Amino acid sequence: MKTQDSVVLIILGLIIWILGSAYYAYRGPFVLETTSLRYWISFFISPLVSAIICIAILKLRHVPPSAWTSGMLLLAIPGMIGEAVVLSHLSTFMPRIQASSGGRYGAFLFAAYALVLGIAEVVTLRANP
């Protein structure tokens, strides 16, 4: 993977994190503080949407399958660092979300990062026999 691709992936990861955080800051109560059924539906859909977006980015950037793990990490790291700050100061960055919903929000994040990084690892392992 070229240096330019690495920089673009980090910037795209930062943009995705900002947009995702803004979405949950605004819509979080409707997603996290709802009925159990709506929460679990959102819990499964959110990581899938994240994975589709990240896979599309890697394919559009023509990242070879042997480099998907690195590429996906570059997309994920800005969000992982940013979310550590957001979760440690939830009431400041997401005042509409109740403090008790921080764990639910963290579970969404964990599921999304686990899915996208897991997919990338499988793709990379299959490309490197």
Q: What is the pLDDT of residue 94?
A: 93
Position 122 scores a pLDDT of 95
Q: What is the DSSP string of 51-119?
A: HHHHHHHHHHTT--GGGHHHHHHHHHHHHHHHHHHHHHTHHHH-TTS-GGGHHHHHHHHHHHHHHHHHH
Instruction: Quote the pLDDT of residue 45.
Output: 94
CA distance 13 to 128: 25
Find the radius of gyration of the CA atoms of the chain: 15
| Per-position DSSP letters for 56-74, written without gaps between them | HHHHHTT--GGGHHHHHHH
CB 28 within 8 A of CB 35: no
Domain ranges, residue 9: 3-127
Digit-by-digit pLDDT tens for the chain (129 residues) are 788 999 999 999 999 999 999 999 999 899 899 888 999 999 999 999 999 999 999 999 999 999 999 999 999 999 999 999 999 999 999 999 999 899 999 999 999 999 999 999 999 999 976
Domains identified in the chain, total number: 1
The answer to whether the beta carbons of residues 55 and 112 sit under 8 Å apart is no
